[in-house]
Chains A and B, each alone.
Chain A
């Protein structure tokens, strides 16, 4: 297993008291797998990603990435944040090479790799443009390439499409899905959109209300072979949707 969460718990301390964010979260991911986490809003989904990324420490349980406990941000993990978070004062090229510069890995070979990624995903002609000159979908692709530039094995996606309108969202999620598959990455996506989770992943992890624990894990079985758009037309899609919807218990 490339990611292994063992009874992960997190309690925040603040002057007003203790907040139990995560109670008992356990699941694992195989290399190359695409897993989505859905849960009621405010249940600590994003917090879980921060823990895996090594930005925070769990107050209980263990997180293993590639067999080793997580202690600090690791080059094995790439993070795709909410909205694209491209820096407007940098052009596209210097945005996508941000991670290389931070890690001081901006060698000619690494830069050639990024140039190849831009070329492969149709962005090379925009290298010298500002982020605001690009469409929402292209910005999202740049954000993904920025993540891929440092060659992580695992991608953590924190509701990356939440700022996009519905139409753009459908095509961008299909686009990002295709790139992640093509680059053979392991991906963990946090989303509040059930259909997005079903259309992109191999498995869907459903969390409970706060303090979050794993409520159910769905293996999407035959849907795995289909692309995001085809899945939405498949008959099983509704079945999965309905059972996840019930488990989320939105009215509770």
Chain B
């Protein structure tokens, strides 16, 4: 069958769409260049004190010297490791507890008020307690991260599990499925989106936990660099670290998005 030539209206529509996309990208990049340029200019011309607000060129120089001394990767690696461990522990333990709550309505009713209180409590208040109990080190930072992400995970996943279509559960039961099979073959896969939405929230929360933890107690990590930089009034170091942090957080978030896409196609094969 010969391909029909697109109509004039169609071509105009496609052109307009493309133009819009291009102008959005151009403006995004321009906004970045403009902000950085203004910042640099303001610092050079003495409109602001470069010692206090730093400048893009000073940030770049700091970055290069951190990289040369090899410290950069120590700090980035430490924080990323803590975030990933806290994130995984929070997700896995939170999901397991949510499964237990789904399995037994009785247990869920017993624990309900405790979850409400723990959810409302600002978890950063627990930081000093962890330091006393676990000691000043990575353990406390991970405990902090876990405390921040686990409650949200439990609540989100439990609500998701409970909202599984009753008619599908009924179908599984008539096919002779037990609770374990219903969980594995129906409840988990139908909450795939809930799981990944929780993971996306948890990536952000884990970084909050790690940076808070490192503020309180650490010898290395991006949070440590920020606190150290501000204490010695080295704002170049603080600004540089904030930039690196932003990049690390985005990379991790993109990783979750990538994993979501990757597993989605294989979901039917896995469960």
Question: Contact residues of A with B, CB < 8 Å?
Answer: 50, 53, 55, 73, 75, 77-79, 81-83, 85, 87, 89-91, 94, 98-99, 101-103, 150, 156
B163 to chain A, nearest CB (A): 15
Name the A residues within 8 Å of B173 (CB-CB): 55, 73
Question: Contact residues of B with A, CB < 8 Å?
Answer: 165, 167-168, 170-177, 181, 185-186, 189-190, 192, 267-268, 271
Interface centre among A50, A78, A82, A87 (most CB of B within 10 A): A87
B168 to chain A, nearest CB (A): 5
State whether B174 touches A79 (Cβ < 8 A): yes
Name the B residues within 8 Å of A73 (CB-CB): 173-176
Between A and B, 22 residue pairs with Cβ closer than 8 Å are A53-B174, A79-B170, A79-B175, A81-B170, A82-B167, A83-B167, A85-B165, A85-B171, A87-B168, A87-B190, A87-B268, A89-B267, A89-B268, A89-B271, A90-B268, A101-B185, A102-B172, A102-B175, A102-B176, A102-B177, A102-B185, A103-B175
Name the B residues within 8 Å of A150 (CB-CB): 175
Interface centre among B168, B172, B175, B185 (most CB of A within 10 A): B175
Name the B residues within 8 Å of A101 (CB-CB): 185
Interface SS of A by simple majority: loop
State whether A79 touches B171 (Cβ < 8 A): yes
3 closest A-B pairs (Cβ-Cβ)?
Answer: A79-B174, A90-B268, A89-B267
- Closest partner residue, chain B, to A150 (CB atom): B175
Known interface pairs A77-B174, A78-B174, A94-B268; 19 further A-B residue pairs with C-beta atoms within 8 A, sorted by A's residue number: A55-B170, A55-B174, A73-B174, A79-B174, A81-B168, A81-B171, A85-B167, A87-B190, A87-B268, A89-B189, A89-B268, A98-B175, A98-B185, A99-B176, A102-B176, A102-B177, A102-B181, A102-B185, A103-B175
State whether B175 touches A81 (Cβ < 8 A): no
B134 to chain A, nearest CB (A): 40
Cα of A91 to Cα of B267 in the assembled complex, Å: 10
A107 to chain B, nearest CB (A): 16
